[in-house]
Amino acid sequence: MVSVGSAVPDINVSNQQLSQLVDTSDEWITARTGIKNRKILGTNQSLVDLAVKAAENTLSKSSIKPEEIDLIILATSSADDLFGSAGQIQKRIGASNAAAFDVTAACSGFIVSLIIAHQFLATRTYNNILIIGADVLSRWVNWLDRNTCILFGDAAGAMLLKSSSPDNLLGFKLKTNGKNNHDLVLPQTSKYKKFTSDLTIVQGGYNYISMNGREVYKFATSEVPKIIQNTLELIDMVLTQVDWLVLHQANKRILKTIADKLGFPNDKLISNLELYGNTSAASLPLVLDEAIQDNKIKTNDIIVLAGFGAGLTWGAVVVRVRCSTKIIIKFHSLENSNNSYSFEVNKTMIF
């Protein structure tokens, strides 16, 4: 069983605001990317704060208690702690019995984590797994570099998985091309410290995101259609059986080109990047959560999820979705007022 949830920060940064920082315009950004707005984390908040919100939102839509979670996988490239932030999330949500670790695979991080989680479920090693995709790339982008600062936003999304029979994760494929790693990097800085004549060390630190946009664009639009096609072939399915394409929300032109190359109808392409920009590892659960809440994705729908980004890494997963509705009945007993009932409807997804 799966429930999906998400969390976004409150601060909006519009294209208009960016045009005051760098030589760009709302027209250019809208036409080239489809992005109108992105949300960024405030100074007093951390990636863990955002990830915890997404995890709690996801848990609230399921009947699974935090202590029943066996494993937490945090997909992020912007952890608060280079040693990993999953442990802090485990503590904050009270998942006292869960093992927890981070996965770093940039914008493919959520797909990679979903596949890792599926392996543990398929082998019956674990029963309940929480995967979280969270990134705060606003903290790693050069706000004076117009090639990158227009693209990224902060967010977190999460998914709770339970093994099911039959297995509704129907197939997957993952690929990496390290030869083109240099096209999208967040590299270490090389600050040398010479202590003695024969001891010089490199002091750790990180630079800004550096990207060859055109090359990443070409990579995404040529490789993602292929991997989707190959994944479907692997499980003897064809594209006409697919109800929705849920792609990493990088750029509207990229999404449209991928759909067009596959001959897939554009109105079956799920997208919300206009409001949030590219939220890296969070983009898939964020857009999926919205599509389920909006009643777009329904029970028995077949969806293809695909991620792509730095590494270079890319992957596709084919899933059969089951949606159910969890109804929460709240009883309010307020002083000086009549007792009243309220109904809250939450959508839950079951793979």
CB of 126 to ligand UT7, least distance (A): 29
Residue whose C-alpha is closest to residue 38's, from 272, 317, 346, 310? 272
CB of 21 to ligand UT7, least distance (A): 10
> In whole angstroms, what is the distance from residue 140 CA to residue 336 CA?
52
Residue placing its CB nearer to ligand UT7 in the complex, 147 or 346? 147
Residue placing its CB nearer to ligand UT7 in the complex, 120 or 219? 219
Residue placing its CB nearer to ligand UT7 in the complex, 113 or 251? 251
Residues 6+ apart with CB under 8 A from 133: 75, 76, 109, 110, 113, 156, 157, 158, 280, 281, 282, 283, 284, 285, 286
Residue in the shown chain whose Cβ atom is closest to ligand UT7: 213
Residue placing its CB nearer to ligand UT7 in the complex, 20 or 165? 20
Where along the sequence are the contacts to ligand UT7 (CB under 6 A)?
Answer: 24, 28, 32-33, 107, 146-147, 150, 211, 213-214, 216-217, 248, 250-251, 278, 309
Told to judge if 107 belongs to the known catalytic residues of this protein, a careful annotator would answer yes
**107, 118, 128, 251: which one is catalytic?**
107
Sheet order of strands, 99-103 included: 3-7, 155-162, 128-135, 71-75, 99-103
CB of 267 to ligand UT7, least distance (A): 22
CB of 71 to ligand UT7, least distance (A): 26
CB of 29 to ligand UT7, least distance (A): 6
With b for 16 or more beta-carbon neighbours within 10 A and e for fewer, the 46-57 pattern comes to bbbbbbbbbbbb
Contact 71, 130 (CB under 8 A): yes
Residue placing its CB nearer to ligand UT7 in the complex, 87 or 277? 277
Residue whose C-alpha is closest to residue 69's, from 94, 44, 51? 94
* Residue 138, amino acid: S
Q: Looking at the annotation, which residues are catalytic?
A: 107, 248, 278
